[in-house]
Amino acid sequence: MSNPALTQPRTSTDVPHGRMAMWWFLGSEVVIFGGLIVTYIMFRQAHPEWAEYAAHTMRWAGATNTMVLLTSSFTVVLAHQAAHEGNHKKAANLLFVTLLFAFAFLGLKSYEYSHEIAAGFTPVTNVFWSFYFFMTALHGLHVIAGMVAIFIVALAVRRGENPQRVEYVGMYWHLVDIVWIFLFPLLYLAS
């Protein structure tokens, strides 16, 4: 049985307005990251020497961050389930746990950046490192945007307001995770 608090206006497609808007937004994000990933792959095929550059990335950190983001996706799913069941406090708490994972991701990414820059790998070292820093920094900005949205929604849900928005921030957060699942093998395992 669906929670009446999650009922909202629907479009002619019988999809809630907020969900439809979120799908449109996510589609635009897929175009941005998809174009960037395809461009990277085209360059990568033309530059076999990039395998040597990729060997200098911190694979353990990339793998750890992959697990951190996948776990954070799970907490978002649990938050959505709790909101659907009407347990707003639990939903908010799970969103705050998701934020802890996001902070861990950014902290480890900052450590990586400092280590790589200290080793002499910067965005101007060569085209591979330009792609690496640009793609991971763009992803990092999306992580930060997701954190802001999750924080705002968690505060509102804790007060019992707009529980359907847990689903929307969850959709966005899953996009952040999916993008990283593409970036990790392309940038870290390309050797």
DSSP state of 16: B
Q: Which helix (H) or strand (E) holds 18?
A: helix 17-46
Q: What is the reported pLDDT for 11?
A: 53
pTM (two decimals):
0.87
Angle at 130 between CA 191 and CA 31, to 5 degrees: 90
| pLDDT tens digits for range 106-140 | 999 999 999 999 999 999 999 999 999 999 999 99
Single out the residue of 171, 173, 151, 167 nearest to residue 105, CA to CA.
173
Would you mind telling me the total number of residues written for the chain in this entry? 191
Torsion of CA 9, 12, 18, 22, to 10 degrees: 170
Say which amino acid occupies 61. A
Q: How far apart are CA 154 and CA 100, in angstroms?
A: 13
Domains along the sequence of the chain with CATH = 15-188 (1.20.120.80)
Scan for tokens 């049985």, then name that residue: 1
What is the predicted pLDDT for the residue at 1? 44
